[in-house]
Structure formats: C-alpha cells, structure tokens
Amino acid sequence: MTPSAETPAGAPALPRTLVKDLPALVGRPVRLQGWLHHVRRLGRLNFAVLRDRTGLAQIRVETSQLQPLRTAPDESVVEVSGRAAADPRAPGGVEVVDPVFRLLEPALLPTPVTLSRPTLKESLPVLLDHAAVALRHPGRRRALELMAALAEGFRSTLRGLGFTEVFTPKVVGATAEGGAEVFRLEYFDTPGYLTQSPQLYKQMLVGALERVFEVGPVFRAEPHDTGRHLAQYCSLDAEMGFIDDVGDVIAVAEEALAGMMAAAATLLPHESPVLMPQGLPRIPFWDAMALLEAAGLRKASDRPDLTPAGERWLGQWALRERASDFLVVTGYPQAERPFYTHPDPDHPGYSRGFDVLFRGLEIVTGGQRLHREADYLRVMAERGMDPAPFASYLEAFRHGMPPHGGFAIGLERVAKQWLGAQNIREITAFPRYRGRLAP
C-alpha cells in the first residue's frame, strides 16, 4: 500500500477539511491536507500557510510544534490536524491552532520560483520554464480558474440559445484563412495542416444543426514576438443560420460575452468590474478611421487598417465617450477579411465583417458569410484561389444554405484583458509561441 493520504493508522477518521470550509468550523477539530505554501518563523511563534484547491489557511505554530517541518521545503505535501479558531487578524478571520503536522510527501529542494510572494517576481521565461511549480501561485491559478469560468459562461449562454456543441477536425487538407501562418504536418503518407479555425466545419454544420458552437484549440504559426499572440489558443466559435443580417450575429456575440463576464464576476467578485452597457456601442469602420485621423494616429492616405495602437485608442475612446469597456467595429474592408466574408452591397469594398474590442484589444472577429456557391466561386477566382481543395465545403452551398454568420472569441485574450495582464503568455497555462515547446 502507498502511505495513506487520508488517516494515520488508528486515528479517528475525521474527513478532510477544505480551507474554504474553515470559517464554518470555528471551535471544531479540523484535518487539512495540502501544500506547505510557506512558513514564517518569528521566534517562539510561527505561522505556516497551507494551500489547497480552495485557498490558503494560516496555521499558528509554536516552535516546539515545528519539528516535522524542520527539513521540509516549501511545497511539501502535508497534513495538519488541529482546531479552527477565530482570529480577526488572520485571512478570512480564522486560523488553525494546536496543529499536529504530518509530512505526506516531502519536497526535495527549494522551489525555483518564490510562490509565497503576493506577486511572482521572476522573469516570464523563468516562470514558463518552471510552469509545473509557478502555476501553483494563487495568482496564476486564478487566471486558470477565470478561463474555465469564461469558457463555461460561453457554452451555457449558447446552449440556452439553441446552439449545439460540435467537435471538428484539427488536422485538415485545406485551410480557410490561408497565408503563411499554418503548421504543416505528416498525416500518414500525405501532407496536412493544423486548423487555424473551425470555420469551414462550423459553416457546413449549419446545414445540419443551424446553430453550432465549438470550444477548442486553433493553431497559428505566428512568427512575431508580441504580448497578444499565441501559436495555440482556445477559440470560442459560434455559427448560426437563418439570420436577417449581421446584426443578428452581433447580438448573439454580445449575449455570449455578457454570459462570460457574468460567469467571471461570480468567480472573482472583487476583481476589476467590467463596464458592459446593454447593447454594446458600435462604430462603423470608416468612422473609426476618421476618429483616428482626427487624433493624429493615421493619415487619410494610409491603408485602411486597425493597428494595435489604433485599437488601444478606440478602447480609450469607448470608455470615455460611451462608458464601455467594449466596442463593436462594423463593416471592415472586404480586402482585409477572409474569402467567405459577405460583402456589404450598400458600401462597395466593405464587408459585413465585424470585430469586438475589449479594453482596446480585438477579442472577437465575426461576420455574415457568403451562402451561395456562385458567390464563392466568383470570390475565389478574384482572389486567385483554387477551389479544388474546398470541394466538399462548397458542396454545402450547392444544396441549400440559408443566410448565416458567426464569430470567434479568443479565450486567452478575454482573460488577459479581464486581469489587466501585460502579456498573454502570463495567463496561459503552457503557452506556445516561436521558441517555446516545453513544458
């Protein structure tokens, strides 16, 4: 038998106490299990901090009781039997007194990063190299919990709107987004690619299910070293048929974002409140360009495009002028959008594609799609694309497809902006980017 993690032989079988339950157990015996987060040695009186999946517990330790911990580095796995006692100076108003420690699994050496600081001080490469330890820091763990809450907020909102979750291939023979930023692989005896998005699949599935969503990884061989790109990220994708126009798609994107923000606020109620007015402010792309020109951030002769600096400025503008952390930018130039984007017949050269900015960073991209085979063939010819690799996709449009559209939300980007992190790599468990493939 492995040494039991639950009960010493002969001891009464007190069930394991979780840290979050301590306040309800004042005066009662408790038995915690977790990691020895840190020990503060103050002479006769010492404080040990135990960490479990629900939080940190302060343990008041007489020097005579310290013996089992004397050779135990931080992060040793320990059990503490003691009594919960009220103390207004302790975090949560409760601490554990009269502790008896049992060392379950000793750490073998000091940690490579200092987990007991309120904020990790090591450089990002060090934190990422030692992710197996650094992720144990409460701040890093909070980012992981935030992403779980955001993903579930997305899913539950879409399920409530009649969307069905789907699971599509990540290895493909043709890519929707094109460009050089695609990872190539050996698929048995033929070349394949990692998907840059589930775009083609979610459109085909509109024919089967009308409303679909997917939560899954997408891959971009992004060569640039930025704080907002990852080579793999989690894409929250949705697609819906029988729309009137792109406004229906934007409305669902807004509902999805509202569901995500509500889920995040429930998880971390004391964190940065998000300003999200009912009906997010919208600005046409050409009006955004005019604002940026007036602000001196672009010249009329510049190629129409929204740069990261432009996005940041518009984020500030939306906060100042519309009291919103979000801004929907509508009607992007057709040339800036993928081939499947529906044009806006009222504004030649412009599309029914939109983005949503959150605190000045693009977190959503979406739009209405073409839904007729002839339109696809014309656009592909205009763009010099060979339709052959898209034959099974184009078949969908030959057999009756309703007007439809959809969007994709970058999960890590939402979390980054929510937390105010500088770099998206800080809040991703095991980020992938050029030069990093481990752990």
Give residues 187-206 in contact with its own copies (rule: CB under 8 A). Answer: 187-188, 190, 192, 194, 200-201, 204-205
Cis peptide before 439 (omega within 30 of 0): yes
Q: What are phi and psi of 37, to 5 degrees?
A: -65, -40
Contacts (CB under 8 A) with its own copies, residues 72-131:
73, 75-77, 104-109, 111-112, 129-131
Give least dist CB 283 to its own copies, A.
21
220 binds its own copies per the rule CB under 8 A: no
Distances (CA, A) of 395 to 178, 200, 208, 371, 372: 20, 11, 13, 11, 10
Q: What are phi and psi of 264, to 5 degrees?
A: -65, -40
Among positions 19, 283, 396, 419, the unique one binding its own copies when judged by CB under 8 A: 396
Whole-angstrom distance, CA of residue 80 vs CA of residue 37 = 13
Q: Do 12 and 4 form a contact (C-beta atoms < 8 A)?
A: no
Helix axis angle, 308-322 relative to 285-294, nearest 10°?
Answer: 90
Q: Are strands 282-284 and 326-330 parallel, antiparallel or unpaired?
A: parallel
Which residue, 212 or 292, is less far from its own copies as judged by CB? 212
**55, β-bridge pairs:** 52
Which residue, 291 or 377, is less far from its own copies as judged by CB? 377
Among positions 371, 413, 416, 425, the unique one binding its own copies when judged by CB under 8 A: 371
Please choose, out of 254-262, 297-305, 359-367, 401-409, the segment that lies near its own copies by the rule CB under 8 A: 401-409
Give least dist CB 60 to its own copies, A.
22
Give least dist CB 319 to its own copies, A.
29
Please choose, out of 88-96, 166-174, 284-292, 300-308, the segment that lies near its own copies by the rule CB under 8 A: 166-174
Which residue, 34 or 315, is less far from its own copies as judged by CB? 34
Whole-angstrom distance, CA of residue 112 vs CA of residue 110 = 7
Give least dist CB 51 to its own copies, A.
10
Among positions 127, 243, 250, 288, the unique one binding its own copies when judged by CB under 8 A: 243
* 326-365 footprint of its own copies as x/- string (CB under 8 A): ----------------x--xx-------------------
242 binds its own copies per the rule CB under 8 A: yes
* Sheet (strand 164-165) strand order: 164-165, 211-219, 232-241, 404-410, 361-369, 353-358, 326-330, 282-284
366 binds its own copies per the rule CB under 8 A: no
Contacts (CB under 8 A) with its own copies, residues 128-157:
129-133, 135-136, 140-141, 144-145, 147-148, 151-152, 155
Strands in 308-434 per DSSP E: 326-330, 353-358, 361-369, 404-410
174 binds its own copies per the rule CB under 8 A: yes
Structure tokens at 243: 């729309």
- For 296, left (φ over 0), alpha (ψ -120 to 50), or beta? left
69 binds its own copies per the rule CB under 8 A: no
Whole-angstrom distance, CA of residue 142 vs CA of residue 285 = 35
408 binds its own copies per the rule CB under 8 A: no
Which residue, 148 or 319, is less far from its own copies as judged by CB? 148
8 binds its own copies per the rule CB under 8 A: no
Which residue, 27 or 188, is less far from its own copies as judged by CB? 188
393 binds its own copies per the rule CB under 8 A: yes
249 binds its own copies per the rule CB under 8 A: no
Q: Which residue shows structure tokens 């408790």? A: 30
Give least dist CB 115 to its own copies, A.
9
Structure tokens at 153: 């907020």
Which residue, 73 or 304, is less far from its own copies as judged by CB? 73
Whole-angstrom distance, CA of residue 179 vs CA of residue 174 = 12
207 binds its own copies per the rule CB under 8 A: yes
CA atoms within 13 A on the CB side of 157: 23
* 34-63 footprint of its own copies as x/- string (CB under 8 A): -xx---------------xxx---------
Structure tokens at 311: 């996005």
Alpha helices in 49-135 (DSSP H): 124-129, 131-134
70 binds its own copies per the rule CB under 8 A: no
Whole-angstrom distance, CA of residue 248 vs CA of residue 259 = 17
Which residue, 28 or 167, is less far from its own copies as judged by CB? 167
399 binds its own copies per the rule CB under 8 A: yes
Alpha helices in 135-284 (DSSP H): 138-160, 199-209, 246-267
Q: Do 288 and 357 form a contact (C-beta atoms < 8 A)?
A: no
